[in-house]
């Protein structure tokens, strides 16, 4: 093993990724398995979880466990955690990645249903899952929780206001949970800017690309570019980092 391989090694660790079937979650789950971890791939569409889990297992030789769950539903999260501990006996890394930001016409057109759905998935679910897993991690002697937030939480835009507010809540959750679960368990926020995942299919790409010209890197992110920051937070490479926000956004001013 080279020096960096050891620093970022995840051999025999168990990494749970919500929204692990597609997009940034899939990238992070794949990368964790490449570094030696077994992965739990959790999202709403079971077939997608199975397909991604099979690809990960075939490419890395690690175990990947698909699980169907709606992260915005409090009562479904106990089942996910129980299944993970039954299958692997532990979770070393929890990546609260599942998230979404539905489009709406105007602020006045935002319904209570839309608002609740956004908060449930981006904030309530991660709270419940972090508390369920975090307490077990403390009892087991260690772990790392990564909350995937958004640059929108720092620079809220009118067209994504419920989402930005929920992600800002997630940033707050990170700091509080780091205190609650420290010194045993580390909790950090990974804050992406705009990445070209399925989410971006709803965007006006020329306009968004033009908007990115004021970023330091003057472009949108490609999904694999999330991996380095995720592996840093998942592994012992970040052993003195907790309660923090790691931006991965091309340098949004
Ligand atoms: N891409 C960006 O530009 C960007 C920017 C800032 C922040 N982020 C954040 O990064 C995270 C990942 O985004 P992404 O771009 O990778 O999204 P994506 O490509 O749309 O993938 C979303 C993933 O979450 C799952 N998911 C969606 N709703 C779910 C639910 N209710 N319960 C469980 N799983 C659910 C999806 O699978 P199913 O459909 O099978 O459920 C899928 O695996 C999100 O938290 C997002 O807010 C993304």
The predicted-structure confidence for 204-245, as pLDDT tens digits, reads as follows 899 999 999 999 999 999 999 999 999 999 999 999 999 999
User: Among residues of the chain, what percentage have pLDDT more than 70?
Assistant: 100
DSSP-assigned states of every residue in the chain: --HHHHHT--TT-EEEEETTTSHHHHHHHHHHHHTT-EEEEEES-HHHHHHHHHHHHHHHSS-EEEEE--TT-HHHHHHHHHHHHHHHS--SEEEE--------S-GGG--HHHHHHHHIIIIIHHHHHHHHHHHHHHHHT-EEEEEE--GGGTS--GGGHHHHHHHHHHHHHHHHHHHHHTTTEEEEEEEE--B-SGGGGGS-HHHHHHHGGGSTT-SPBPGGGGHHHHHHHHSGGGTT--S-EEEESS---
Residue 250 has pLDDT above 90, yes or no: yes
For 219, the token pair is 């472009």
CB contact at 8 A, 189 and 170: yes
126 lines ligand 1 (CB under 6 A): no
CATH of domain 3-245: 3.40.50.720
Ligand 1 centre and the CA of 100: distance in Å?
6
Alpha carbon dihedral 157, 163, 169, 174, in 10-degree steps, equals -100
User: What's the CA gap between 120 and 74, in Å, rounded?
Assistant: 8
Pocket test for ligand 1, best of 23, 125, 155 (most atoms within 8 A of CB): 23
Does the CA dihedral 121-122-123-128 come out positive or negative?
A: positive
User: What's the CA gap between 164 and 76, in Å, rounded?
Assistant: 24
Residue 139 has pLDDT above 90, yes or no: yes
Write down the mean pLDDT value for the chain. 97
CB contact at 8 A, 100 and 121: yes
pTM beyond 0.95: yes
Residue labelled with tokens 């919500």: 18
pLDDT tens, position by position, 32-83: 999 999 999 999 999 999 999 999 999 999 999 999 999 999 999 999 999 9
For 181, the token pair is 């679960």
Pocket test for ligand 1, best of 17, 19, 189, 209 (most atoms within 8 A of CB): 19
Q: Residue 103: left if φ>0, alpha if ψ -120 to 50, beta else—which one? A: beta
């Amino acid at each position: 093993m080279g020096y960096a391989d050891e620093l970022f090694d995840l051999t025999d660790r168990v990494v749970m990724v919500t929204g692990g079937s597609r997009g940034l979650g899939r990238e992070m789950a794949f990368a964790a398995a490449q570094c030696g971890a077994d992965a739990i791939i959790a999202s709403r569409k079971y077939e997608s979880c199975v397909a991604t889990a099979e690809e990960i297992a075939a490419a890395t030789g690690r175990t990947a466990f698909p699980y169907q769950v709606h992260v915005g539903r409090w009562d479904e999260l106990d089942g996910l955690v129980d299944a993970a501990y039954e299958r692997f006996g532990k979770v070393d890394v929890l990546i609260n990645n599942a998230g979404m930001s539905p489009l709406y016409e105007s602020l006045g057109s935002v319904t209570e249903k839309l608002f609740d759905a956004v908060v449930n998935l981006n904030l309530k679910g991660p709270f419940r899952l972090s508390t369920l897993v975090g307490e077990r991690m403390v009892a087991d002697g260690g772990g790392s929780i990564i909350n995937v937030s958004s640059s929108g939480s720092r620079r809220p835009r009118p067209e994504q206001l419920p989402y930005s507010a929920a992600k800002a809540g997630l940033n707050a959750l990170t700091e509080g949970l780091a205190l609650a679960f420290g010194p045993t368990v580390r909790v950090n926020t990974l804050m992406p800017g705009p990445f070209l995942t399925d989410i971006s299919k709803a965007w006006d790409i020329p306009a968004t690309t033009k908007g990115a010209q004021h970023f330091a890197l003057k472009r949108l992110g490609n999904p694999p570019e999330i991996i380095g920051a995720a592996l840093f937070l998942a592994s012992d490479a970040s052993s003195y980092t907790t309660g923090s926000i790691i931006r991965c956004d091309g340098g949004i001013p």
